[in-house]
Amino acid sequence: MRYLVDFDLFVIGGGSAGVRCARIAAGHGARVGVAEERFWGGTCVNIGCVPKKFMVMAAEYGAGADDARGFGWDIAKRGHDWATLIAAKDKEILRLNGIYRRLLDQAGAKIFDARATFIDEHTLDVGGKRVTAEKIVIATGGHPTRLDIPGAELGIISDDAFYLKEMPKRIATIGSGYIGVEFAGIFAGLGAETHLVYRQPLPLRGFDEDLRGGLAEAMSANGILLHPDTVPTSVVKENGAYHLALSDLSVLEVDLVFFATGRAPNVRGLGLEKIGVETGRLGEILVDQSLATSVPHIYAIGDVTDRLNLTPVATAEGHAVADTLFGNNPRAVSLENVATAVFSIPPIGTVGLTEAEAAQRGPAKIFLTRFTPMRHNISGRARKTLMKLIVDQETDKILGAHMLGEDAPEILQGLAVAMKAGATKADFDRTIGIHPTAAEEFVTLRTQTRVVGEVSSAE
Protein backbone atom coordinates (compact mmCIF):
# COMPACT_ATOMS: atom_id res chain seq x y z
CA MET A 1 0.00 0.00 0.00
CA ARG A 2 2.71 2.44 1.08
CA TYR A 3 3.84 3.57 -2.38
CA LEU A 4 0.45 3.34 -4.06
CA VAL A 5 -0.69 6.47 -2.24
CA ASP A 6 0.81 9.97 -2.25
CA PHE A 7 1.10 10.20 1.53
CA ASP A 8 1.22 7.91 4.55
CA LEU A 9 -0.71 10.59 6.44
CA PHE A 10 -2.70 13.58 5.31
CA VAL A 11 -3.77 16.10 7.94
CA ILE A 12 -6.67 18.44 7.21
CA GLY A 13 -6.19 21.60 9.22
CA GLY A 14 -3.06 23.47 10.31
CA GLY A 15 -4.13 24.51 13.81
CA SER A 16 -2.66 23.39 17.12
CA ALA A 17 -3.81 19.78 16.71
CA GLY A 18 -3.01 19.35 13.02
CA VAL A 19 0.42 20.99 13.07
CA ARG A 20 1.56 18.89 16.03
CA CYS A 21 0.27 15.68 14.46
CA ALA A 22 1.84 16.39 11.05
CA ARG A 23 5.16 17.49 12.54
CA ILE A 24 5.55 14.50 14.86
CA ALA A 25 4.43 12.00 12.21
CA ALA A 26 6.94 13.45 9.74
CA GLY A 27 9.59 13.19 12.46
CA HIS A 28 8.74 9.49 12.76
CA GLY A 29 9.54 9.14 9.07
CA ALA A 30 6.04 9.20 7.60
CA ARG A 31 5.35 10.91 4.29
CA VAL A 32 3.02 13.66 5.47
CA GLY A 33 0.86 16.24 3.72
CA VAL A 34 -1.03 18.95 5.57
CA ALA A 35 -3.57 21.45 4.27
CA GLU A 36 -4.70 24.72 5.81
CA GLU A 37 -7.12 27.07 4.06
CA ARG A 38 -6.93 30.10 6.37
CA PHE A 39 -3.99 30.62 8.69
CA TRP A 40 -1.26 28.38 10.08
CA GLY A 41 -1.54 27.95 13.83
CA GLY A 42 -5.35 28.01 13.63
CA THR A 43 -7.70 29.67 16.08
CA CYS A 44 -5.43 29.70 19.11
CA VAL A 45 -2.51 31.49 17.51
CA ASN A 46 -4.42 33.82 15.22
CA ILE A 47 -7.86 34.59 16.64
CA GLY A 48 -7.92 32.96 20.06
CA CYS A 49 -5.73 32.28 23.08
CA VAL A 50 -2.61 34.14 22.02
CA PRO A 51 -3.94 37.50 20.75
CA LYS A 52 -6.63 37.37 23.46
CA LYS A 53 -3.95 37.16 26.12
CA PHE A 54 -2.14 40.19 24.67
CA MET A 55 -5.43 42.08 24.88
CA VAL A 56 -5.96 41.00 28.49
CA MET A 57 -2.44 42.24 29.28
CA ALA A 58 -3.28 45.58 27.62
CA ALA A 59 -6.39 45.89 29.77
CA GLU A 60 -4.45 45.07 32.93
CA TYR A 61 -1.82 47.77 32.33
CA GLY A 62 -4.50 50.44 32.69
CA ALA A 63 -5.51 49.18 36.14
CA GLY A 64 -1.83 48.68 36.97
CA ALA A 65 -1.17 52.36 36.32
CA ASP A 66 -3.92 53.26 38.82
CA ASP A 67 -2.61 50.75 41.37
CA ALA A 68 0.93 52.13 41.09
CA ARG A 69 -0.17 55.45 42.62
CA GLY A 70 -0.39 53.84 46.07
CA PHE A 71 3.26 52.83 45.65
CA GLY A 72 4.36 56.38 44.94
CA TRP A 73 4.25 56.51 41.15
CA ASP A 74 2.84 59.58 39.50
CA ILE A 75 1.61 58.12 36.23
CA ALA A 76 -0.57 60.27 34.01
CA LYS A 77 -2.96 58.01 32.11
CA ARG A 78 -3.86 59.73 28.87
CA GLY A 79 -6.01 57.01 27.39
CA HIS A 80 -5.46 53.86 25.38
CA ASP A 81 -4.62 53.71 21.68
CA TRP A 82 -6.40 50.72 20.19
CA ALA A 83 -4.59 50.95 16.83
CA THR A 84 -1.20 50.60 18.56
CA LEU A 85 -2.33 47.49 20.41
CA ILE A 86 -3.78 45.84 17.29
CA ALA A 87 -0.66 46.62 15.21
CA ALA A 88 1.65 45.20 17.90
CA LYS A 89 -0.53 42.13 18.25
CA ASP A 90 -0.68 41.59 14.48
CA LYS A 91 3.10 41.81 14.19
CA GLU A 92 3.60 39.19 16.88
CA ILE A 93 0.94 36.90 15.46
CA LEU A 94 2.54 37.11 12.01
CA ARG A 95 5.84 36.05 13.57
CA LEU A 96 4.21 33.05 15.30
CA ASN A 97 2.35 32.20 12.14
CA GLY A 98 5.63 31.94 10.26
CA ILE A 99 7.10 29.74 13.01
CA TYR A 100 4.25 27.25 12.67
CA ARG A 101 4.72 27.02 8.92
CA ARG A 102 8.50 26.69 9.24
CA LEU A 103 8.20 23.94 11.84
CA LEU A 104 6.21 21.87 9.38
CA ASP A 105 8.58 22.61 6.56
CA GLN A 106 11.63 21.68 8.64
CA ALA A 107 9.98 18.44 9.72
CA GLY A 108 9.62 17.54 6.04
CA ALA A 109 5.83 17.72 5.74
CA LYS A 110 4.42 18.90 2.42
CA ILE A 111 2.41 22.05 2.96
CA PHE A 112 -0.75 22.93 1.06
CA ASP A 113 -2.24 26.40 1.48
CA ALA A 114 -5.62 25.11 0.41
CA ARG A 115 -8.93 23.62 1.49
CA ALA A 116 -9.12 19.81 1.56
CA THR A 117 -12.33 17.82 1.13
CA PHE A 118 -13.04 14.11 0.79
CA ILE A 119 -13.54 12.55 -2.62
CA ASP A 120 -13.52 9.03 -1.20
CA GLU A 121 -12.13 7.28 1.89
CA HIS A 122 -8.51 7.62 0.77
CA THR A 123 -8.72 10.50 -1.70
CA LEU A 124 -8.93 14.21 -1.04
CA ASP A 125 -9.46 17.23 -3.20
CA VAL A 126 -6.78 19.64 -2.01
CA GLY A 127 -7.24 23.00 -3.70
CA GLY A 128 -8.37 21.29 -6.90
CA LYS A 129 -5.66 18.61 -6.82
CA ARG A 130 -6.34 14.90 -6.15
CA VAL A 131 -4.27 13.60 -3.29
CA THR A 132 -4.32 10.10 -1.82
CA ALA A 133 -3.32 9.01 1.66
CA GLU A 134 -3.26 5.83 3.71
CA LYS A 135 -4.33 7.55 6.93
CA ILE A 136 -6.20 10.82 7.23
CA VAL A 137 -6.52 13.05 10.28
CA ILE A 138 -9.27 15.65 10.48
CA ALA A 139 -8.22 18.63 12.58
CA THR A 140 -10.46 21.38 11.26
CA GLY A 141 -11.35 22.99 14.60
CA GLY A 142 -14.48 25.01 15.25
CA HIS A 143 -16.03 28.41 14.69
CA PRO A 144 -17.99 30.85 16.87
CA THR A 145 -21.77 30.90 16.54
CA ARG A 146 -24.39 33.64 16.92
CA LEU A 147 -27.79 33.24 18.54
CA ASP A 148 -30.75 32.77 16.26
CA ILE A 149 -32.46 36.10 16.99
CA PRO A 150 -33.57 38.92 14.66
CA GLY A 151 -30.63 41.18 13.81
CA ALA A 152 -27.97 38.71 15.02
CA GLU A 153 -25.94 39.35 11.87
CA LEU A 154 -25.40 42.93 13.13
CA GLY A 155 -23.32 41.59 16.01
CA ILE A 156 -19.73 40.38 15.84
CA ILE A 157 -18.15 37.09 16.92
CA SER A 158 -14.74 36.54 18.50
CA ASP A 159 -13.06 36.14 15.06
CA ASP A 160 -13.94 39.80 14.35
CA ALA A 161 -12.99 41.16 17.78
CA PHE A 162 -9.29 40.91 16.95
CA TYR A 163 -9.58 43.15 13.90
CA LEU A 164 -11.92 45.95 15.02
CA LYS A 165 -10.85 49.24 13.46
CA GLU A 166 -11.59 51.10 16.68
CA MET A 167 -12.42 50.34 20.28
CA PRO A 168 -16.18 50.61 20.84
CA LYS A 169 -17.20 53.02 23.59
CA ARG A 170 -20.20 50.90 24.65
CA ILE A 171 -20.36 47.16 24.18
CA ALA A 172 -22.77 44.35 25.02
CA THR A 173 -21.23 40.89 25.27
CA ILE A 174 -23.66 38.02 25.16
CA GLY A 175 -22.83 34.72 26.87
CA SER A 176 -20.78 34.10 29.99
CA GLY A 177 -18.54 31.23 28.94
CA TYR A 178 -14.78 31.62 28.56
CA ILE A 179 -14.99 34.05 25.64
CA GLY A 180 -17.75 36.25 27.10
CA VAL A 181 -16.07 36.86 30.44
CA GLU A 182 -12.61 37.25 28.91
CA PHE A 183 -13.70 39.88 26.40
CA ALA A 184 -15.90 41.69 28.91
CA GLY A 185 -12.75 42.06 31.03
CA ILE A 186 -10.73 43.28 28.04
CA PHE A 187 -13.21 45.91 26.91
CA ALA A 188 -13.99 47.15 30.44
CA GLY A 189 -10.26 47.34 31.21
CA LEU A 190 -9.68 49.39 28.07
CA GLY A 191 -12.34 51.84 29.16
CA ALA A 192 -15.56 50.82 27.40
CA GLU A 193 -18.97 50.78 29.07
CA THR A 194 -19.36 47.01 29.11
CA HIS A 195 -22.50 44.95 29.56
CA LEU A 196 -22.45 41.18 30.05
CA VAL A 197 -25.75 39.51 29.22
CA TYR A 198 -26.16 35.88 30.27
CA ARG A 199 -28.95 33.44 30.94
CA GLN A 200 -27.61 31.87 34.14
CA PRO A 201 -27.73 33.44 37.62
CA LEU A 202 -23.90 33.39 37.63
CA PRO A 203 -21.30 33.39 34.84
CA LEU A 204 -19.25 30.34 33.77
CA ARG A 205 -21.76 27.53 34.05
CA GLY A 206 -19.98 24.28 34.95
CA PHE A 207 -17.27 25.93 37.05
CA ASP A 208 -17.15 25.74 40.85
CA GLU A 209 -19.90 27.86 42.42
CA ASP A 210 -17.51 29.80 44.66
CA LEU A 211 -15.43 30.76 41.63
CA ARG A 212 -18.57 31.82 39.76
CA GLY A 213 -19.78 33.98 42.63
CA GLY A 214 -16.33 35.47 43.15
CA LEU A 215 -15.99 36.24 39.45
CA ALA A 216 -19.38 38.00 39.32
CA GLU A 217 -18.29 40.19 42.24
CA ALA A 218 -14.92 40.90 40.65
CA MET A 219 -16.49 41.82 37.32
CA SER A 220 -18.89 44.21 39.05
CA ALA A 221 -15.96 45.75 40.93
CA ASN A 222 -14.27 46.28 37.54
CA GLY A 223 -17.31 48.24 36.40
CA ILE A 224 -18.83 45.56 34.14
CA LEU A 225 -22.63 45.87 34.10
CA LEU A 226 -23.99 42.37 34.66
CA HIS A 227 -27.34 41.21 33.30
CA PRO A 228 -27.86 37.71 34.77
CA ASP A 229 -30.91 35.53 34.05
CA THR A 230 -31.36 37.45 30.81
CA VAL A 231 -31.41 36.55 27.13
CA PRO A 232 -31.30 38.93 24.19
CA THR A 233 -34.33 38.97 21.93
CA SER A 234 -33.29 41.22 19.00
CA VAL A 235 -30.70 43.63 17.66
CA VAL A 236 -31.66 46.73 15.69
CA LYS A 237 -29.39 49.40 14.22
CA GLU A 238 -30.62 52.96 14.65
CA ASN A 239 -28.76 56.26 14.16
CA GLY A 240 -25.38 54.52 14.14
CA ALA A 241 -25.98 52.64 17.41
CA TYR A 242 -27.24 49.15 18.14
CA HIS A 243 -30.31 48.55 20.27
CA LEU A 244 -30.16 45.20 21.99
CA ALA A 245 -33.55 44.17 23.37
CA LEU A 246 -33.46 41.87 26.40
CA SER A 247 -35.91 39.39 27.88
CA ASP A 248 -36.44 41.68 30.91
CA LEU A 249 -37.87 44.17 28.38
CA SER A 250 -35.00 46.61 28.78
CA VAL A 251 -33.04 47.82 25.74
CA LEU A 252 -29.29 48.45 25.76
CA GLU A 253 -27.93 51.12 23.41
CA VAL A 254 -24.38 50.18 22.46
CA ASP A 255 -21.77 50.60 19.71
CA LEU A 256 -21.02 46.90 19.44
CA VAL A 257 -22.90 43.67 20.11
CA PHE A 258 -20.60 40.68 20.63
CA PHE A 259 -21.94 37.13 20.49
CA ALA A 260 -19.83 34.84 22.70
CA THR A 261 -22.45 32.14 22.64
CA GLY A 262 -20.43 29.04 21.93
CA ARG A 263 -18.55 27.37 19.11
CA ALA A 264 -19.47 24.64 16.62
CA PRO A 265 -17.24 22.08 14.86
CA ASN A 266 -15.98 22.87 11.33
CA VAL A 267 -17.36 19.96 9.32
CA ARG A 268 -19.45 21.67 6.65
CA GLY A 269 -18.50 20.74 3.10
CA LEU A 270 -15.82 18.22 4.11
CA GLY A 271 -17.83 15.39 2.54
CA LEU A 272 -17.98 13.29 5.71
CA GLU A 273 -21.41 11.87 4.88
CA LYS A 274 -20.02 10.55 1.59
CA ILE A 275 -17.42 8.39 3.33
CA GLY A 276 -19.45 7.43 6.41
CA VAL A 277 -17.66 9.37 9.16
CA GLU A 278 -20.24 9.62 11.92
CA THR A 279 -21.04 12.94 13.56
CA GLY A 280 -23.09 13.96 16.61
CA ARG A 281 -25.92 16.46 17.12
CA LEU A 282 -23.79 19.58 16.61
CA GLY A 283 -21.74 18.04 13.80
CA GLU A 284 -18.91 16.99 16.12
CA ILE A 285 -16.95 14.02 14.80
CA LEU A 286 -17.43 10.96 17.02
CA VAL A 287 -14.21 9.23 18.01
CA ASP A 288 -13.14 6.29 20.15
CA GLN A 289 -10.35 6.19 22.76
CA SER A 290 -7.68 6.14 20.06
CA LEU A 291 -9.34 9.12 18.31
CA ALA A 292 -10.36 6.93 15.37
CA THR A 293 -13.64 7.85 13.69
CA SER A 294 -16.24 5.34 12.52
CA VAL A 295 -13.97 4.85 9.47
CA PRO A 296 -10.96 3.12 11.02
CA HIS A 297 -8.13 4.76 9.04
CA ILE A 298 -9.59 8.26 9.53
CA TYR A 299 -8.92 10.06 12.81
CA ALA A 300 -10.24 13.31 14.30
CA ILE A 301 -8.45 15.48 16.85
CA GLY A 302 -8.98 18.80 18.61
CA ASP A 303 -12.08 21.01 18.64
CA VAL A 304 -13.75 19.23 15.71
CA THR A 305 -14.53 16.41 18.18
CA ASP A 306 -16.05 18.99 20.63
CA ARG A 307 -14.97 17.21 23.79
CA LEU A 308 -12.58 19.39 25.78
CA ASN A 309 -11.95 22.36 23.51
CA LEU A 310 -8.58 23.47 24.80
CA THR A 311 -5.38 23.99 22.81
CA PRO A 312 -3.13 21.82 25.00
CA VAL A 313 -5.63 18.96 24.69
CA ALA A 314 -5.62 19.38 20.91
CA THR A 315 -1.81 19.29 20.69
CA ALA A 316 -1.66 16.30 23.03
CA GLU A 317 -4.16 14.48 20.82
CA GLY A 318 -2.21 15.32 17.67
CA HIS A 319 0.98 14.03 19.26
CA ALA A 320 -0.67 10.84 20.52
CA VAL A 321 -2.16 9.98 17.12
CA ALA A 322 1.20 10.54 15.40
CA ASP A 323 3.00 8.37 17.98
CA THR A 324 0.33 5.69 17.73
CA LEU A 325 0.32 5.50 13.95
CA PHE A 326 3.97 6.06 13.11
CA GLY A 327 6.05 6.07 16.31
CA ASN A 328 5.40 2.52 17.43
CA ASN A 329 4.01 3.94 20.67
CA PRO A 330 0.23 3.46 20.83
CA ARG A 331 -1.27 5.71 23.45
CA ALA A 332 -4.41 7.63 24.37
CA VAL A 333 -4.82 11.07 25.94
CA SER A 334 -6.44 11.20 29.36
CA LEU A 335 -9.01 13.96 29.69
CA GLU A 336 -9.07 13.57 33.47
CA ASN A 337 -7.84 16.40 35.68
CA VAL A 338 -7.03 18.70 32.80
CA ALA A 339 -6.26 22.11 34.27
CA THR A 340 -7.77 25.12 32.57
CA ALA A 341 -7.66 28.87 32.91
CA VAL A 342 -10.08 31.65 32.16
CA PHE A 343 -8.29 34.90 31.46
CA SER A 344 -10.89 37.05 33.10
CA ILE A 345 -9.64 39.98 35.20
CA PRO A 346 -8.58 38.68 37.66
CA PRO A 347 -8.09 35.25 36.08
CA ILE A 348 -9.27 31.82 37.11
CA GLY A 349 -7.23 28.63 37.30
CA THR A 350 -8.98 25.37 37.97
CA VAL A 351 -8.33 21.65 37.94
CA GLY A 352 -10.35 18.62 38.98
CA LEU A 353 -13.83 18.37 40.43
CA THR A 354 -16.09 21.24 41.44
CA GLU A 355 -17.62 21.09 44.91
CA ALA A 356 -20.96 19.99 43.43
CA GLU A 357 -19.33 17.19 41.39
CA ALA A 358 -17.33 15.99 44.39
CA ALA A 359 -20.42 15.99 46.61
CA GLN A 360 -22.16 13.63 44.19
CA ARG A 361 -19.39 11.08 44.55
CA GLY A 362 -19.26 10.99 48.34
CA PRO A 363 -18.13 13.03 51.33
CA ALA A 364 -15.54 15.71 50.59
CA LYS A 365 -13.86 18.29 52.78
CA ILE A 366 -13.82 21.89 51.56
CA PHE A 367 -11.02 24.28 52.39
CA LEU A 368 -11.70 27.83 51.27
CA THR A 369 -9.98 31.13 51.76
CA ARG A 370 -10.65 34.64 50.51
CA PHE A 371 -8.21 37.42 51.14
CA THR A 372 -7.00 40.74 49.83
CA PRO A 373 -3.76 40.12 47.92
CA MET A 374 -0.76 41.90 49.42
CA ARG A 375 -0.45 44.43 46.59
CA HIS A 376 -4.00 45.70 47.03
CA ASN A 377 -3.56 46.51 50.71
CA ILE A 378 -1.45 49.34 49.35
CA SER A 379 -3.01 49.97 45.93
CA GLY A 380 -6.41 50.29 47.58
CA ARG A 381 -8.11 48.26 44.82
CA ALA A 382 -11.07 46.31 46.16
CA ARG A 383 -10.03 42.89 44.82
CA LYS A 384 -10.13 39.57 46.60
CA THR A 385 -8.31 36.36 45.82
CA LEU A 386 -10.20 33.11 46.33
CA MET A 387 -8.57 29.71 46.78
CA LYS A 388 -10.27 26.42 47.34
CA LEU A 389 -9.27 22.80 47.81
CA ILE A 390 -11.69 19.91 47.64
CA VAL A 391 -10.43 16.83 49.45
CA ASP A 392 -11.80 13.28 49.43
CA GLN A 393 -12.76 12.61 53.05
CA GLU A 394 -11.95 8.92 52.76
CA THR A 395 -8.65 8.91 50.84
CA ASP A 396 -7.41 12.46 51.64
CA LYS A 397 -6.72 12.91 47.89
CA ILE A 398 -7.08 16.38 46.40
CA LEU A 399 -10.10 16.15 44.10
CA GLY A 400 -10.23 19.77 42.99
CA ALA A 401 -8.15 22.93 43.25
CA HIS A 402 -9.61 26.27 42.26
CA MET A 403 -8.40 29.83 42.31
CA LEU A 404 -9.70 33.23 41.29
CA GLY A 405 -7.05 35.90 41.58
CA GLU A 406 -3.90 37.33 40.09
CA ASP A 407 -1.54 34.64 38.71
CA ALA A 408 -4.12 31.89 39.21
CA PRO A 409 -3.32 30.16 35.88
CA GLU A 410 0.41 30.16 36.67
CA ILE A 411 -0.17 28.75 40.14
CA LEU A 412 -2.63 26.06 39.10
CA GLN A 413 -0.27 24.48 36.59
CA GLY A 414 1.92 23.20 39.44
CA LEU A 415 -1.08 21.99 41.39
CA ALA A 416 -2.25 20.06 38.32
CA VAL A 417 1.04 18.13 38.37
CA ALA A 418 0.54 17.35 42.06
CA MET A 419 -2.98 16.11 41.37
CA LYS A 420 -1.85 13.93 38.44
CA ALA A 421 0.66 12.41 40.85
CA GLY A 422 -2.17 11.65 43.29
CA ALA A 423 -1.32 14.23 45.96
CA THR A 424 -3.19 14.17 49.26
CA LYS A 425 -4.04 17.05 51.57
CA ALA A 426 -1.33 15.72 53.91
CA ASP A 427 1.19 16.16 51.05
CA PHE A 428 0.08 19.77 50.66
CA ASP A 429 0.30 20.30 54.45
CA ARG A 430 3.88 19.03 54.67
CA THR A 431 4.98 21.23 51.78
CA ILE A 432 6.68 24.40 52.96
CA GLY A 433 5.32 27.54 51.37
CA ILE A 434 7.14 30.23 49.40
CA HIS A 435 6.79 33.47 51.29
CA PRO A 436 5.38 36.01 50.72
CA THR A 437 3.22 34.73 47.86
CA ALA A 438 -0.45 34.07 47.31
CA ALA A 439 0.42 30.52 46.21
CA GLU A 440 1.62 29.59 49.70
CA GLU A 441 -2.00 29.75 50.88
CA PHE A 442 -2.57 26.45 49.06
CA VAL A 443 -0.16 24.71 51.46
CA THR A 444 -1.29 26.50 54.61
CA LEU A 445 -5.03 25.87 54.36
CA ARG A 446 -5.73 24.23 57.71
CA THR A 447 -9.29 25.19 58.60
CA GLN A 448 -11.94 23.04 57.06
CA THR A 449 -14.82 25.21 55.83
CA ARG A 450 -17.42 22.44 55.48
CA VAL A 451 -17.99 18.81 54.53
CA VAL A 452 -20.23 18.08 51.55
CA GLY A 453 -21.67 14.90 50.00
CA GLU A 454 -23.32 11.89 51.53
CA VAL A 455 -21.68 8.65 52.63
CA SER A 456 -23.10 6.10 50.16
CA SER A 457 -25.66 3.69 51.63
CA ALA A 458 -23.50 0.70 50.59
CA GLU A 459 -20.87 1.69 53.12
Amino acid of residue 33: G
Indicate the DSSP class of residue 284: P
With CB under 6 A as the contact rule, which of the stretches 68-76, 216-224, 233-241, 256-264 interacts with ligand NDP? 256-264
The values of phi and psi at residue 436, to 5°, are -95, 120
In the complex with ligand NDP, the residue whose CB is nearer, 100 or 343, is 343
Rule CB under 6 A: say whether 51 interacts with ligand NDP: no
Rule CB under 6 A: say whether 340 interacts with ligand NDP: yes
The values of phi and psi at residue 250, to 5°, are -85, 165
Q: Which of 144, 141, 404, 451 is closest to 270 using CA atoms?
A: 141
* # chain residues binding ligand NDP, by CB under 6 A: 24
Indicate the DSSP class of residue 157: -
Rule CB under 6 A: say whether 198 interacts with ligand NDP: yes
The contact mask relative to ligand NDP for 5-44 (x = CB under 6 A, - = no) is ----------------------------------------
Residues 6+ apart with CB under 8 A from 64: none
Which of 243, 319, 402, 435 is catalytic? The answer is 435
Rule CB under 6 A: say whether 228 interacts with ligand NDP: no
Q: Is 435 a catalytic residue?
A: yes
Q: Which of 397, 283, 419 is closest to 352 using CA atoms?
A: 419
- Cα–chain center distance at 174: 17
Which of 224, 260, 291, 320 binds ligand NDP (CB under 6 A)? It is 260
Beta strand residue intervals within 40-192, DSSP E: 110-112, 116-120, 123-126, 129-138, 142-144, 170-174
Which of 103, 107, 111, 231 binds ligand NDP (CB under 6 A)? It is 231
Sequence-distant contacts of 277-284: CB under 8 A, at least 24 apart: 277/138, 280/306, 282/306
Q: Hey, is 343 helix, strand or coil? A: coil
The contact mask relative to ligand NDP for 105-124 (x = CB under 6 A, - = no) is --------------------
With CB under 6 A as the contact rule, which of the stretches 60-68, 215-223, 277-285, 335-343 interacts with ligand NDP? 335-343
Rule CB under 6 A: say whether 200 interacts with ligand NDP: yes
Stretch (H or E) spanning 183: helix 178-189
Window 295 to 314, contacts with ligand NDP (CB under 6 A): 309-310
In the complex with ligand NDP, the residue whose CB is nearer, 261 or 385, is 261
- Cα–chain center distance at 400: 19
Amino acid of residue 423: A
| Contact (Cβ atoms closer than 8 angstroms) between residue 292 and residue 329 | no
Provide the minimum distance between the beta carbon of 348 and ligand NDP in the complex, in angstroms, as a whole number.
9
Provide the minimum distance between the beta carbon of 351 and ligand NDP in the complex, in angstroms, as a whole number.
13
With CB under 6 A as the contact rule, which of the stretches 28-36, 249-257, 341-349, 415-423 interacts with ligand NDP? 341-349
In the complex with ligand NDP, the residue whose CB is nearer, 180 or 185, is 180
With CB under 6 A as the contact rule, which of the stretches 100-108, 208-216, 319-327, 334-342 interacts with ligand NDP? 334-342
Rule CB under 6 A: say whether 205 interacts with ligand NDP: yes
Provide the minimum distance between the beta carbon of 347 and ligand NDP in the complex, in angstroms, as a whole number.
9
- Cα–chain center distance at 365: 29
Q: How far apart are CA 123 and CA 136, in angstroms?
A: 9
Window 163 to 192, contacts with ligand NDP (CB under 6 A): 175-180, 182
Provide the minimum distance between the beta carbon of 1 and ligand NDP in the complex, in angstroms, as a whole number.
37
Provide the minimum distance between the beta carbon of 323 and ligand NDP in the complex, in angstroms, as a whole number.
24
| Contact (Cβ atoms closer than 8 angstroms) between residue 56 and residue 345 | yes
Nearest residue to ligand NDP by CB is: 177
Phi-psi label, residue 151: left if phi above 0, alpha if psi -120 to 50, beta otherwise: left
Which of 192, 341, 416, 439 binds ligand NDP (CB under 6 A)? It is 341
Beta bridge partners of 12: 35, 138
Which of 262, 271, 283, 414 binds ligand NDP (CB under 6 A)? It is 262
| Contact (Cβ atoms closer than 8 angstroms) between residue 67 and residue 379 | yes
- Residues of this chain that interact with ligand NDP (CB under 6 A) are 144, 147, 175-180, 182, 198-200, 205, 231, 260-263, 309-310, 340-343
Active site residues: 435
